[in-house]
Amino acid sequence: MNPVIDADKTKLTARFDQEDWSSAYCNVEKEHRQTTLELIKGEIPKDLNGTFYRNGPGRLERKGEWVHHPFDGDGMVSSIQFTNGVATFSNRFVRTKEWEEEEKAGKFLYRGVFGSKKSGLLLANAFDLRLKNIANTNVIRLGEELLALWEAGSPHSLDPATLETNGLSNLKGALSANEAFSAHPRFDPGHNNDSRMVTFGVKTGPKSTIRLMEFATKGANAGCLMTERKDTFNGFAFLHDFSITPNWAIFLQNAIDFNPLPFLLGQKGAAQCLKSNFNRKSKFWLIPRDHGAFSKTKPQIIDAPDGFVFHHLNAWEENHEIFVESIFYDDFPSIGPNQDFKRIDFNQLPEGILKRCKINLLTNSIEEKTLSNQCCEFAMVNPRKVGLQARYSWMATAEKKTGNGPLQAIKKLDLVNGESHTWSIAPRGFVSEPLMIPKSSSKEEDHGWILVLIWNGALKKTELVVLNAKDLSHQATLEIPIKIPHGLHGSWVDSN
Ligand code: CO
């Protein structure tokens, strides 16, 4: 196979070998249970105690047939438990009903949202609208349950220690049968007294209804639905993420249309039928949170800047203004029916740019500011700052300064003065979502660690890297005993 190297020499290019990057896409063949990790370099901080959970696609191929898009791969959850300077590793596929059926049959039986087809000819896919709940997008702790999340269906409940699947969860009766439940909850550290997991489900079509839910995360009610509201808006909505402030839940309705015909005919996956509509305006939908100052009032709808957003960084309020920081793309990035995801040309993809929108609630006007021009994804603030103005953020970035590229560096960005620190593993290494873990003994916003799984393209291995959150200095590298494909989201649970 010929390595494809950035072809467009007119852009500021950082060279990488396409095969180094794509070699991470392989099936996970083994499940571990509390295997002690080998330290390759450095030392694990002794006061880093807790569990790092991470979800992502683990099964990408059956009998030589590949999923069309890695986002269609079955969820495989990893956990790395840190105890006094020692780390142990466990991993397990989420035993969804569909995964069990496909394991038994040895072939794909279901279509994927991103265009993966079940085995057989086109007709095998036409009018088969059954999708599998692949439980591959995020993994979070809520009460006693560890939840594997996938936004178009209900969560799967896992045992937090063994990662064994207990089946679909209705969250103590909060969800109806296989109700859609976002993979992007936001954890409110206690703006309205108690800490909450704020999340949503969306039903979409010509109109879209958002069910906003707040769950208790601590005490006797941990895991219980405490408040909810439903609001209906005009138009189709693809809502992957949202952000919160003490008073508002903030959604961005991208200017995107959905043409279901190729999906019904079995030619495309549902997500491949989404298309930017440049004649329409994106909208911010602001829904008042219960227990906030505007509780029980109607949502506010405000024109948003052009562009497509998957992920938000954070949001906060100042008097009558709301600030929302999000990663904007010029267009919806999708992989067409005839493209091979492993040979994707990054130069053809729009780049993710971190921007801040200031929404004035008195005038319904918006001001937009670019925070960094470097292509980024998977950005977060210190979890204690969710919903408040944060000074710092941590994110994965491309190596080159402009244009799209694979994620090869971790950046700490000062959101006030634009200063940054970078830790890079280019040209042969690739990063995934960084997780910022605050140091419990410190009140300083940037005291803590960054955990990130990396793909070592030279050795064809997955490694876990620990960085100091303040200056991104390297603390430790640990060898992971399996190859983990480029993945999605994760979370941290303190051991106390
Ligand atoms: Co996401």
DSSP letters of 314-375? EEEEETTEEEEEEEEESS-----TT--GGG--GGGSPPPEEEEEEEETTTTEEEEEEEE-S-
Q: Say how far apart CA 190 and CA 196 lie, in whole Å.
A: 7
| CA-closest candidate to residue 75, choices 50, 92, 51, 90 | 92
Distance from Cα 124 to the centre of ligand 1, integer Å: 30
* Residue ranges, the chain, pLDDT below 50: 1-12
Contact 225, 214 (CB under 8 A): yes
- Write down the mean pLDDT value for the chain: 91
Q: State the DSSP H helix or E strand holding residue 19, giving kind and residue range, or none if neither.
A: helix 18-22
Distance from Cα 84 to the centre of ligand 1, integer Å: 31
For residue 402, count CB atoms less than 10 angstroms from its CB and return exposed for 0-12, middle for 13-18, buried for 19 or more.
middle
Distance from Cα 448 to the centre of ligand 1, integer Å: 23
Q: Where are the alpha helices (DSSP H) in 82-225?
A: 97-105, 122-125
Distance from Cα 385 to the centre of ligand 1, integer Å: 19
Distance from Cα 137 to the centre of ligand 1, integer Å: 7
Distance from Cα 362 to the centre of ligand 1, integer Å: 31
Distance from Cα 352 to the centre of ligand 1, integer Å: 13
Distance from Cα 26 to the centre of ligand 1, integer Å: 21
What are phi and psi for residue 166, nearest 5 degrees? Answer: -100, 5
Distance from Cα 57 to the centre of ligand 1, integer Å: 13
Distance from Cα 252 to the centre of ligand 1, integer Å: 14
Distance from Cα 123 to the centre of ligand 1, integer Å: 32
Confidence (pLDDT) at 494: 95
Q: What letter would DSSP give residue 131?
A: B
Distance from Cα 490 to the centre of ligand 1, integer Å: 10
User: How much of the chain exceeds pLDDT 70, in percent?
Assistant: 91
Distance from Cα 150 to the centre of ligand 1, integer Å: 10
What are phi and psi for residue 101, nearest 5 degrees? Answer: -65, -45
User: In 10 A of CB 474, how many CB atoms?
Assistant: 12
Q: What is the pTM of this model?
A: 0.93
Distance from Cα 75 to the centre of ligand 1, integer Å: 14
Confidence (pLDDT) at 338: 73
What count of Cα atoms within 13 Å lies in the side-chain half-sphere of residue 461? Answer: 11
Distance from Cα 1 to the centre of ligand 1, integer Å: 31
Confidence (pLDDT) at 228: 98
Distance from Cα 334 to the centre of ligand 1, integer Å: 15
Distance from Cα 242 to the centre of ligand 1, integer Å: 10
Confidence (pLDDT) at 353: 97
Distance from Cα 143 to the centre of ligand 1, integer Å: 22
| CA-closest candidate to residue 73, choices 139, 25, 19, 21 | 25
Which whole-number Å values give the CA distances from 359 to 86, 134, 391, 491, in the listed order? Answer: 46, 36, 19, 29
Strands 407-414 and 392-398 come out as antiparallel
- The letter for the amino acid at 358 is K
User: How much of the chain exceeds pLDDT 90, in percent?
Assistant: 78
Confidence (pLDDT) at 119: 63
Distance from Cα 70 to the centre of ligand 1, integer Å: 14
Contact 432, 380 (CB under 8 A): no
User: In 10 A of CB 156, how many CB atoms?
Assistant: 27
Confidence (pLDDT) at 266: 66
Distance from Cα 377 to the centre of ligand 1, integer Å: 9
Distance from Cα 241 to the centre of ligand 1, integer Å: 7
Q: Say how far apart CA 288 and CA 484 lie, in whole Å.
A: 40
Distance from Cα 313 to the centre of ligand 1, integer Å: 11
Q: State the DSSP H helix or E strand holding residue 160, giving kind and residue range, or none if neither.
A: none
Distance from Cα 488 to the centre of ligand 1, integer Å: 7
Distance from Cα 140 to the centre of ligand 1, integer Å: 13
